[in-house]
Amino acid sequence: MKVNKIFIVILVISLLSGCGKRQINELALVSAVGIDQGSSPNSVRVTVQVVRPADARGQTGAPAGGTGEPIYSVQAEGKTIFEAIRNLARFSSRRVYWAHNFIIVINEKFARAGIADMIDFFTRNPELRMNTWIAATPNPASEVVSTITGLEVVPGEAVDKLFRYNEIVSEAPRTNMTRLQESYLNEYTHPVLARLELKNRGISNKKPEEFGSLKQIELSGTAVFKHDKMVGWLNRAQSRALLLFIENVDSGIEVITCPDLPNQDATLEVKSQSLHVKPIASGSVPSFHVDVSSRVELSESGCLATFNEMRGYLEEQMGNRVKEQIESLLAAAQKKYKVDILKLGEIYENEYPSEWRRIRDDWEDIFPQVQITIDSRAELTSAVLKITKKKIPRG
Amino acid sequence: MDNLEKDITDSLAENTNIISAILGDSADINKREFSFGQLKGVCFFAAGLANTDQVSTIVRSFAVFGEHQDASGNRTIQAISRSLILNTSVETKTKINDGIKGILSGDTLVLLDGYKEYLLVETKGWDKRGVEEPSTENVVRGPRDGFTEDIRTNTSHIRRRIKNPDLRFDEMTIGDKTNTSINIAYLNGTVKKGLVEEIKSRLSRIKIDGVLESGYIEELIQDAPLSPFSTIQSTERPDKVSAALLEGRAAILVDNTPFALIMPSYFWEQLQAPDDYYNNFWMGTFFRMLRYFAFLTSVLLPSAYVMLISFHQEMIPTRLAFTIASGREVVPFPVLFEALIMELAFELMREAGLRMPKPVGQAVSIVGSLIIGQSAVQAGLISPFMVIIIAITGISSFAIPSYSTSFSIRLLRFPMLIASGTMGLLGFTCAFFMVMIHVLSIRSFGEPFFSPIAPFSASEHKDILVRVPWWAMVKRPRTASGELRRLGAGQKPKPPSTSEERHEGE
């Protein structure tokens, strides 16, 4: 009987399969992972931040025992990352599950030694997602991962939101696994990673007089890599300039001293910035022309001058400020680290493919000598209706 | 019993004996002998089925006749029936068989002395349930009358809606013992070609001792006898039957049940409600979409949840995953088992609520919801998410207008659940595809069950996923025969054109 055969096949399949699979509450859901150098130079220490669902949810309604902490952070060491992760199973009562990981934090020391095997592991494993954020930190990664930070119940989620909404300050690149791998696999462009740092920012409700007694994670700055090895940091201003090259910048502020009062400032809010790079093929060393235009608004002014009086001055200062930032970035990239993190090679390749083929093998040597001219303009569009002069008695 | 096939004789005593012998001395068969002047006779009728007023009218008319007539021998029985009987319908018969059937369906058999024929007077009149609102397919806007157990009342409902000589009811009798009358209703000239013949040939094949409900007939003439889906639609609503007749389909009415059968039937139509056509077309379309969604939810939701929780945790959005994990933290069962328990508990509650007397049924639902909804979660036996999933599934299955379809969905849910609980997405997909392949392969009286989606028929999409306004529904479905256009040209209402207005103003 055909029906009987089908029935038997279904029965056998359903009895044989399904074993070994875990329900969602039998998994240790990792929300953040930190990678440090182990106790011996050749080993790696992996710290995982595991969500404790019963406590991460707040009021459960069901009897929830335990410490009340939303996360459970543990670490294990091994010669390779995978071995370290397997060693976690020695004390984790649940299977470590990576698919919901928010962020991978890499310690500076580990990064300087090279992250090739880490990129390989985190892209090879199908359980890991390519949209996981990656950041470097000068602090021990274990400390960053196990710190309770932000408003979210799960700290990993707080860092995730930090990345998602970081366009408000625009001080760190939004680097995830896809981007890291993309620039890692590209021979001529070098990777960058966002910088996470623990700072004493939080104020304890119980001891408000001890300012900054709680450590919080701050996202600001950039780590520069040469191939897979970290070579150094970029500061905030340089990171902002870098974002103009590799991402879009539509927010941020600049503080500029008043034209009439030396100890008073006007604050400009960036509404949009656009950067165009025009490569120029000339001889063996190409040159580039960078054209930046910024649209800003006046958002805070301590100056006596009216909007109309200040406008030209502010636009000029703003233009210069952006130019300075880019120059500082170029100095770091070309002179200090000697790595093309600006994707200039890519731009050149797209514009002049045949010329690029001639110079691409020497690009690492050519890049530091490349001439880059900068043209920066700013346009101050709105003063939000307050255009009259301030009336304060001179002291 | 060979007497049944005989004709009656001209001896009253002999005839009376034969009929009495056939009927036995059953308590409900009444015999009324009368003798007026030279006229002697006997009336046979079934108590409760025949209206006693009507029977006494017969006797009274013979009494008048007997007093004023000296000789009766010179009158033919036809003359008697024409000039004497005051009742609405009289037949003259000779075969005993016909007379017995007549008695058993409420008519009165009148034997007269000296005649080789007898009279069969229609005196049907038994206690009927009044016309009530149908209990299965409720509407907010639309007619409230439903079919009853009486087949003549039911045909009258349809006739009242379609006052057309083309509306035909073809009578058949099925059931060797029950002799149940069955009417095939159709609109002559509009009905799909060959449909009535096909129905008749399928019905005439039936050899069964009794038909107590239209479900018997449905299962005996269905195209896909093993399918959980029913390819014949059953309804209690005369307006639904009338609409089907206008679309060129046919209906079977069975005596003693308020459920009529409509054929051919399509899958989509079982998710459509009469309200769709009576309300504003925007609402009709929205509610229809809602019901399609409810159908999918009630079939797939528990399986999708079980599949995600036990196999594909990476497919759940992260925050939701944390919340679900926290809800399941204390639950001791695997999610498949949990789902099966809850499904069974839900079905149990529904069934118990249905079977219990109405006042007790409420108690069942209160206790059930309290235990399942509250205590099971608090005790940590069931996760709150599972309660929500099962509740949504249950509500969705109640949103399906056709009772038989909502049953087939209930049945499909369990294999789907087991397949996705044991094999994850693979099992889920395979089970879903098996159901789809099955649905796509079955037919209903020659029409593909999934039509007009598959096979695709663009012209009929005005009434499947959406319900277009009546002024745009120009044609009948292509299965109907005869004139396909059901609407005159330019039926869309619009304000009078400006030139007309000016003309009126002058």
> What residue spans define the domains of chain B?
2-121, 151-265, 290-448
User: In Å, how far are A216, B152, B434, B481 from B183, measured between CA atoms?
Assistant: 82, 10, 37, 21
Q: Is the pLDDT of residue A65 over 50?
A: no
In terms of Cα–Cα distance, which of A312, A298, A309 is closest to A386? A298
Last residue of a domain, which of A207, A234, A261?
A234
- Flag whether A11 is in a domain: no
Element of type H or E holding A296: strand A287-301
- Flag whether A155 is in a domain: yes
A150 and A285 together in one domain: no
User: Which of B309, B421, B423 is opposite residue A13, by nearest beta carbon?
Assistant: B423
3-state secondary structure of B458: helix
User: In Å, how far are A193, A307, B116, B396 from A221, measured between CA atoms?
Assistant: 9, 33, 117, 52
Element of type H or E holding A97: strand A95-97
- Nearest-Cα residue of chain A relative to residue B315: A99
The residue with tokens 């539509």 is A250
User: Which of A21, A56, A63 is opposite residue B310, by nearest beta carbon?
Assistant: A21
Average model confidence (pLDDT) for chain A?
86
- Which band of pLDDT confidence, cut at 50, 70 and 90, is reported for residue A57? low
| pLDDT confidence of residue A242 | 93
A154 and A261 together in one domain: no
- Flag whether A242 is in a domain: no
**C-beta pairs of A180-186 under 8 Å, 24+ apart in sequence:** A180/A119, A180/A134, A181/A119, A181/A123, A181/A130, A184/A116, A184/A119, A184/A227, A184/A228, A186/A346
User: Which of A22, A62, A97 is opposite residue B330, by nearest beta carbon?
Assistant: A62
Both structure tokens of A199: 């700072």
Instruction: Give residue ranges of A with CB < 8 Å to any B CB.
Output: 10, 13-15, 17-18, 21-25, 27, 29, 31, 51, 53-54, 56-57, 60-64, 97, 99-100, 102, 127, 129, 154, 157
Domain count, chain A: 2
In terms of Cα–Cα distance, which of B80, B96, B92, B89 is closest to B15? B96
In terms of Cα–Cα distance, which of B421, B437, B225 is closest to B342? B421
Q: Tell me the C-alpha distance between B320 and B282, whole Å.
A: 34
Q: Do B327 and A60 touch (CB under 8 A)?
A: yes
Q: Tell me the C-alpha distance between A107 and A143, whole Å.
A: 10
- Flag whether A46 is in a domain: yes
Q: Are A110 and A141 in contact (CB under 8 A)?
A: yes
Q: Do B326 and A22 touch (CB under 8 A)?
A: no
Q: Is the pLDDT of residue A153 over 80?
A: yes
Element of type H or E holding A372: strand A371-382
Q: Are B238 and B154 in contact (CB under 8 A)?
A: yes
Q: Tell me the C-alpha distance between A60 and B247, whole Å.
A: 56
Other residues' Cβ atoms within 10 Å of the Cβ of residue A245: 20
A224 and A341 together in one domain: no
Q: Which of A67-76, A218-227, A287-296, B492-501 has the lowest mean pLDDT?
A: B492-501
3-state secondary structure of A77: strand
| pLDDT confidence of residue B501 | 55
The residue with tokens 């969705």 is B396
For residue B77, how far is the Cα from the chain centroid?
Answer: 43
Is the complex ipTM more than 0.95? Answer: no
Amino acid (1-letter code) at residue B47? A
Beta bridge partners of B50: B47, B124
3-state secondary structure of B99: helix
- N-terminal to C-terminal alpha carbon distance within chain A: 105
Q: Tell me the C-alpha distance between B181 and B254, whole Å.
A: 6
Both structure tokens of A358: 């001639």
From B220's Cα to the closest Cα of chain A, the distance in A is: 22
Q: Is the pLDDT of residue A63 over 60?
A: no
3-state secondary structure of B438: helix
A chain contacts of residue B418, beta-carbon cutoff 8 Å? 14
In terms of Cα–Cα distance, which of A329, A359, A103 is closest to A224? A329
- Nearest-Cα residue of chain B relative to residue A29: B322
B chain contacts of residue A14, beta-carbon cutoff 8 Å? 418-419, 422-423, 427
Both structure tokens of B51: 């209206």
Q: Which of A71-75, A359-363, B501-505 has the lowest mean pLDDT?
A: B501-505
B chain contacts of residue A24, beta-carbon cutoff 8 Å? 309-310, 313, 316, 321, 324-325, 328, 335
A227 and A251 together in one domain: no
Both structure tokens of A15: 């009895």
A38 and A84 together in one domain: yes
3-state secondary structure of A301: strand
| pLDDT confidence of residue B357 | 85
A chain contacts of residue B311, beta-carbon cutoff 8 Å? 21
From B325's Cα to the closest Cα of chain A, the distance in A is: 5
- Hey, CA dihedral for B502, B503, B504, B506, is it positive or negative? positive
Q: Are B206 and B240 in contact (CB under 8 A)?
A: no
A230 and A256 together in one domain: no
User: Which of B311, B313, B329 is opposite residue A54, by nearest beta carbon?
Assistant: B329
Range of the domain at A153: 24-58+66-234
From B101's Cα to the closest Cα of chain A, the distance in A is: 46
| pLDDT confidence of residue A386 | 60
Q: Is the pLDDT of residue A92 over 90?
A: no
Q: Are A292 and A377 in contact (CB under 8 A)?
A: yes
Q: Which residues contact A175 (CB under 8 A, 6 or more apart)?
A: A133, A134, A135, A191, A192, A193, A194
B chain contacts of residue A25, beta-carbon cutoff 8 Å? 325, 328-329, 331
| pLDDT confidence of residue A258 | 87
Q: Tell me the C-alpha distance between A129 and A103, whole Å.
A: 10
Q: Do B313 and A99 touch (CB under 8 A)?
A: yes
DSSP state of B7: B
B chain contacts of residue A157, beta-carbon cutoff 8 Å? 318-319
Altogether, the residues listed in chain A come to a count of: 395
User: Which of B311, B326, B423 is opposite residue A56, by nearest beta carbon?
Assistant: B326
A252 and A228 together in one domain: no
Q: Which residue has the higher pLDDT, A56 or B427?
A: B427
Q: Tell me the C-alpha distance between B244 and B237, whole Å.
A: 11
Q: Is B158 on the interface with A (CB under 8 A)?
A: no
Q: Is B179 on the interface with A (CB under 8 A)?
A: no
Both structure tokens of A279: 């490569």
A174 and A43 together in one domain: yes
Return phi, psi of residue B356, to 5°: -70, 155
Q: Do B318 and A61 touch (CB under 8 A)?
A: no
Q: Do A29 and B334 touch (CB under 8 A)?
A: no
User: Which of B318, B334, B377 is opposite residue A23, by nearest beta carbon?
Assistant: B334
Both structure tokens of B395: 């509500």
Q: Is the pLDDT of residue A64 over 50?
A: no
From A171's Cα to the closest Cα of chain B, the distance in A is: 26
A217 and A176 together in one domain: yes
In whole angstroms, how large is the CA radius of gyration of chain B?
30
- Which band of pLDDT confidence, cut at 50, 70 and 90, is reported for residue A239? very high
Q: Do B334 and A51 touch (CB under 8 A)?
A: no
Last residue of a domain, which of A185, A212, A234?
A234
| pLDDT confidence of residue A284 | 80
- Flag whether A12 is in a domain: no
A212 and A295 together in one domain: no
In whole angstroms, how large is the CA radius of gyration of chain A?
26
B chain contacts of residue A100, beta-carbon cutoff 8 Å? 313-314, 318, 321-322
From B322's Cα to the closest Cα of chain A, the distance in A is: 6
Q: What is the pLDDT of residues B158-168, one digit of tens each?
A: 999 999 999 99
Q: Is B374 on the interface with A (CB under 8 A)?
A: no
User: Which of A64, A99, A157 is opposite residue B329, by nearest beta carbon?
Assistant: A64
Q: Tell me the C-alpha distance between B75 and B14, whole Å.
A: 22
Q: Do B329 and A62 touch (CB under 8 A)?
A: yes
Last residue of a domain, which of A204, A234, A264?
A234
Q: Is the pLDDT of residue A62 over 50?
A: no
| pLDDT confidence of residue A25 | 84
B chain contacts of residue A10, beta-carbon cutoff 8 Å? 419
Return phi, psi of residue A392, to 5°: -125, 140
| pLDDT confidence of residue B235 | 93
A190 and A271 together in one domain: no
Q: Do A24 and B322 touch (CB under 8 A)?
A: no
For residue A392, how far is the Cα from the chain centroid?
Answer: 44
A263 and A356 together in one domain: yes
Give pLDDT tens digits along chain B (506 positions): 567 778 888 888 888 888 888 888 888 999 888 888 778 889 999 998 999 888 888 888 888 777 666 544 567 778 778 777 778 888 888 888 888 988 998 899 999 888 888 889 988 888 888 899 988 888 889 999 999 999 999 999 999 999 999 999 999 999 999 999 999 999 999 999 999 999 999 999 999 999 999 999 999 999 999 898 989 999 999 999 999 999 999 999 999 999 999 999 999 988 999 989 999 999 999 999 999 999 999 999 999 999 999 988 889 998 899 889 888 888 888 899 999 989 998 888 888 888 888 878 778 877 877 777 788 888 888 998 999 999 999 999 989 888 888 888 888 999 999 999 988 899 999 999 999 999 999 999 988 999 888 888 887 888 888 899 999 888 888 888 888 888 888 888 888 877 655 555 44
Q: Which residues contact A106 (CB under 8 A, 6 or more apart)?
A: A34, A35, A115, A118, A134, A135, A136, A137, A141, A193
Q: Are B295 and B396 in contact (CB under 8 A)?
A: yes
Q: Tell me the C-alpha distance between B506 and B501, whole Å.
A: 9
A chain contacts of residue B330, beta-carbon cutoff 8 Å? 54, 62-64
Scanning B250-317, the segments in alpha helix (DSSP H) are 275-278, 281-310
Q: Do B378 and A62 touch (CB under 8 A)?
A: yes
